[in-house]
A and B are shown apart, each in its own frame.
Chain A
């Protein structure tokens, strides 16, 4: 089974966050969206990710 790459996406603009995660999910990634750095760092401590992207 092909494993999905996991991406943690931190983006404060709700539309951009939703669109980016939709886009990336369509590309076959597993995306976790966080709306600020605090939530993102919490998510980072709870699970492991292959890529952490923030703007």
Chain B
């Protein structure tokens, strides 16, 4: 695959964005860790200071030798309150004075084996009570909440900003890709248009040159012949210009759809009638199987006829030898389904989605064996969509194409 400059830019910026994302998430996790460490530190300091204060209070110490009663607990509690306020550490807590469990070794420690249990901090009371193995426990059930609250605003802003950056990056990327595609198609279109316009222009010039050169005074028949050619070519040019203009107008929403009551079968037979010359020219066969019973709908007669015409014309153009076209209608619930299939050259899988894009033509190299601007299917799709319908394509290379149009019929019809 060729790596273009744009692709390289996209790749680098995506990579940079990913790294920034990872760094940001890392920062958040780091901050959370630091906040937790700070929390633990504070809890332990509060514990240590309380225990120190208890140790300094000899009267209470002596009382506690005998056992911990309500008075002592109250004393400890007021000390706790004081130090918690001192360290700006106000939150719910509970405390216990109990015998030390055998597995704890260090002087101060904290453990938190279950996420839903309160954070637990303990401090040995050997300075206070001479009896060994007493410890003071501080239980803080709101530890997580406290950390989240401290981190909340930062966390939220980071997430929102990251989401905005990601969204904008995605939008920018999408519009860049679609712009690029459009510019490619526009190039194709310009190439096509110059080719399509060249032949009529050459023909008109050539006819003029011949008429200038030869003495036609006595050959009215020849003058007539060349004039006819000039007019014919002029007509072709006019048609092509109109095609381009009408699609551009449709794109801008300037073509109003005049909806009237229509019979879809009538539209189909009108379309076939107007293509009679082309069909006979190619010795084409059209098989009709019009089984639909609900055929009435509200739509624009001209545009719908044009759309069907275009599809049949495509089937004629892209068939080798004598075209064999199958036209079928049926009802599905309140919809009429029109299928137009041919046994022609078909469309490769990779191009099937693109054929409805404006200016897209299945690449044939530099061979312009079939004329067209790549606007036909885009126009058809637009028209069908303006009627609230859908168009789908089933095709296989060298095995024909099948276009399926689904349109809503008038529902109240039985």
Contact = CB atoms under 8 A, between A and B. Distances in A.
A13 B229 CA distance: 12
A19 B206 contact: yes
A26 B213 contact: yes
Interface string A7-34: 0000011011011101100100000000
A21 to B, nearest CB: 10
Contact of B202 (A12, A16, A26): A16
Contacts, number: 27
B2 interface: no
Interface residues of B, number: 14
A12 B229 CA distance: 15
B203 A13 contact: yes
A18 B225 CA distance: 11
Contact of B207 (A12, A13, A19, A26): A19
A23 B206 contact: yes
Interface string B212-230: 0110000000000010010
Contacts of B207: 19
A15 B203 contact: yes
Contact of B233 (A15, A20, A23, A26): A15
Nearest to B205: A19
Given A13-B199, A13-B203, A19 B232 contact: no
Contacts of B369: 12
Interface of A: 12-13, 15-16, 18-20, 22-23, 26
27 contacts: A12-B369, A13-B199, A13-B203, A15-B203, A15-B229, A15-B232, A15-B233, A16-B199, A16-B202, A16-B203, A16-B206, A18-B229, A19-B203, A19-B206, A19-B207, A19-B210, A19-B226, A19-B229, A20-B206, A22-B210, A23-B206, A23-B209, A23-B210, A23-B213, A26-B210, A26-B213, A26-B214
